Amino acid sequence: MAVCALLCMMLAPAALAQVKDGPACPPRPIVFGLYEFGGFYRAGAGLDKDVAELLSARSGCRFEYKVMMRGRIWQEMQAGRVDMTLSAIATAERKVFAHAVPYLWMKNMIILSKDVSPAIRSPADFIASPNLRLGVARGHFPGKPFDGFVAQLRNIARIDEIDSTEQLYAMFKAGRFQAVLGTQLVYSHYLRADKVRIEDWAPALSREAANLLISKKHFSAEDARRWGLLIKEMQADGSVQRMVQRYVPPEDAARMLMP
């Protein structure tokens, strides 16, 4: 009994610290915005759903999932009707209304149709070819190395902006445009690698952070810090790695993991 009492005394401070540092659950369900995005979320399953469900289980907070277009998620977060979303790049505009917690690395590649000339090897080559068009999903951020590329194409009316990722890849395969931007976890769920050209047009930029975004309407910086601690716990115990490996091979998953 004495040993048991001593152990309880030793463990009690650690348990209290864990409760103290854990996320505080609101009295209502946390509204979690999901969007169709290949391996991140498609047909009710995906990495974003897996991560969200583990966050819910470990925090003890109730989550209510809402599936909508990516562009609408940003509008709903600004209005306070969506609390969280995943696989998001933390742009300056988004950080105005959301806290950002990084949890994965991702990298956009350029995916070209097979009928694009092999001479097209860079953004400059693509822009110089007036018959080539780029498809992008509405509400998606192309990433730092492609900002200028997309802006230039938009200025000369060679961008096709599509509502959903599913439609984007369907129209790409149908020949509506000749290129799209995407990460492996996304494009591998819509395209066969032997049917397209996949190239790295930004080798100097190895990767960009994917984030859990948390609405500032209902969550403070301290709340976000606590959710960040939970993310770090999931990274440290291998949970994030195991979830990523459900969707990509281990060697590709390793490149996506944060320390």
Q: How many angstroms separate the CA atoms of 240 and 163, rounded?
A: 29
Using pLDDT thresholds of 50, 70 and 90, give the confidence band for residue 144.
confident
Q: How many CB atoms lie within 10 A of CB 52?
A: 22
Main-chain phi, psi angles of 58, to 5 degrees: -80, -30
CB 84 within 8 A of CB 56: no
pLDDT, one tens digit per residue, over 107-116 is: 999 999 999 9
Task: Encode 190-253 in three state secondary structure.
Answer: CCCHHHEEEECCCCCCCCEEEEEEEECCCCCHHHHHHHHHHHHHHHHCCHHHHHHCCCCCHHHH
Q: According to the model, what pLDDT value does residue 15 have?
A: 35
Q: According to the model, what pLDDT value does residue 174 have?
A: 98
pTM of the full predicted structure? 0.88
Which residue is it, tokens 């990460």?
A: 183
Residue % of the chain over a pLDDT of 90: 85
* Nearest residue to 202 (alpha-carbon basis) of 147, 132, 134: 147
> Which range has the worst mean pLDDT, 15-19, 34-38, 80-84?
15-19
* Nearest residue to 198 (alpha-carbon basis) of 72, 112, 80: 112
The domains found in the chain, sorted by start residue, are 27-106+208-256 (3.40.190.10), 109-199 (3.40.190.10)
Main-chain phi, psi angles of 41, to 5 degrees: -165, 125
CA distances from 146 to 29, 54, 121 (A): 37, 33, 14
Pairing of strands 98-106, 109-113: unpaired
Q: According to the model, what pLDDT value does residue 145 have?
A: 83
Length of the chain: 259
Q: How many angstroms separate the CA atoms of 150 and 123, rounded?
A: 9
More confident residue, 3 or 43: 43
pLDDT, one tens digit per residue, over 33-49 is: 999 999 999 999 999 99
* Nearest residue to 167 (alpha-carbon basis) of 52, 70, 85, 74: 70
Task: State the average pLDDT over residues 120-147.
Answer: 94
Q: How many CB atoms lie within 10 A of CB 157?
A: 8
Q: According to the model, what pLDDT value does residue 20 have?
A: 56
Could you give the 3-state DSSP secondary structure of residue 142?
A: coil
